[in-house]
Structure 1
Amino acid sequence: MATALRERAGAKGASPGRRDSDGVQRKRKGFQSRALFLLMLPGVAYFLLFHYGALVGNVIAFKEYVPFDGLWGSPWVGLGNFQRMFEDAAFWDSVRNTLWIAVLQLVFYFPVPLGLALLLHTLTWSSVRRIVQSVAYLPHFISWVIVVALFQQVLGDTGLLNSGLSGAGLHTVDIIGNPDAFQPLVVAQVIWKDAGWGTIIFLAALAQVDEQQYEAAAIDGAGPWRRFWHVTLPAIRPVIVLLLIMRLGDILSVGFEQMLLQRDAVGPETAEVIDTFVYYQGIVGGDYGFAAAAGLFKGLVGALLVYAANKVAHRLGEQGVYK
């Protein structure tokens, strides 16, 4: 109380110029805050409308949705759509394909951006680093239509690879149309397209590592591998755990456009994933309630994976996505 009285007395005894200066600064900060809020409004409106507002549409998973009857006029079926979904063999085929492709991407794709970031971080010539980064980032901005077309031109039945093999009198191979090679092929496509873009966060984390720690470890006799294991890895481990948790939450989304463009080449038995299953059942087949049930199932599984992975991260001493 005494402190408050002294502060009040000090405020009363402040000079008019001081009070005017404080008032101008408060107005300036308030204006800057309002400007930032105005800049933030379009992004907030987008998420509220197209992400959170769209959650209301999940109600059709419990209805026999008819567009002409509307969202609330369509008859309720309860868990009937989920029962049909669990009894559908095609749905479980899509789940199996999705999980298998997701595991392959997690094992083979996730370490690649980290390794590429470590290689770029060791480059001492800034000009060479910028060139390599630009070349590695470029495929991310190419659409999947062009990426799939490029792979078909190289690895297709009449692509460059088979043209060279046939010209040399060797047996040709159709990698694009081979169901056995499809899943490794889509993982290779993801690595080629997005590995460079994924290095951005790892490079930002590596830039925060104190160089004096490397120097101290080198003085103590630590080689490159031991410096990586005892200095680099502990410094970027929180970022690795965070990205891994986020990847697990999105593990059932393995690339709708990528799969849709190549589905007909190898057949739905190999290339059908949950996203394409929802598309063909809902948009193409018109069974909107059934498709919404499959999409809701995918979202719930992703949320459970994030929750479980976050709990494991807390037990390992990491912060995770949330506390």
Structure 2
Amino acid sequence: MRLIAKAVSKDYLDVSFQSGTNTVEIVERPGRWMTADRLEKLRSDLTGIATATLETGALHYGVLSGNRERLENAIVTLVRRTSDGKPVAFNALSLMDCNLSASRCRIIHLGLVMIDPQERQKGLSWILYGLTCLLLFIRGGLRPLYVSNVTQVPAVVGMVCETFSEVCPSPEEPEPSDFRKILIAREIMQNHRHVFGVGADADFDEKRFVIRNAYTGGSDDLKKTIEQTTRHRDEKYNTWCRNELNYDRGDDVLQIGLIDLAAAQRYVARAVPRGSLMQLAALGTLVFARRVFLPAAHWFNSEKDYGLLRAR
């Protein structure tokens, strides 16, 4: 992975780097700062990948809804083939602000991941499943961040359980024991269903964190039978999903976990290719430097007027 660009635009991530034969772009909240032409190009690229992935049907929620507001609260990781610039994969995270009693909490929803069928099994998973979360964790000063995920796919359920910390529900913790996670789940289901395409008529089982009849709010064409889903290499996740979810009805599980230092260590140790570790360190340092070192450098620049922000 060779870092080839860029600075950050208007306090949001806007970075680009080379990874093997692909170019990866990460843009944060593009709906808030991108020009109309660039935003339309981004939408077109995402739609093209979705069309190639689904083959039939379409999605009408999140970043694929055509709603600019969805892109105002999204972080998009887009992978292009360097040779011809063709977009081949994307990951669209969503940032959700939740009110938890007297405090506010920002949740990273893992959102949509789509890969052109011709590009699968080519080592893109480490970029699409975890890289952006790691950069947000680094930028936040290594403070733990809550993540959420909605899925019916056993492979994804297992990936989330193995990548993040304190994930529930899971085969080890089928029912949530942390009341804060229950509050987060209530807030998500009350105010953020549009993020993952779940309609208002879907019912939420708060005891098991299962969304019943989930495929009615724009994600209809993602509904699968248990046989159509991708299995996990560890059979316990396949068995757990089969027992907990009604695939005929169209159930999903709402997972909530943390990205903390332990999760970051697991991700780097298990997912990142050995040849990309140094480049990942450079990218992480760039993000961390912008949040920590650059403000410190600006603070001590006596030639620039910072008004009330100047140390006395």
**Same fold, judged at TM 0.5 (above):** no
TM-score for both structures, normalised by structure 1: 0.24
Judging by fraction of residues, say which structure has more strand. 2
- Bigger-Rg structure (1/2): 1
TM (norm. structure 2) is: 0.24
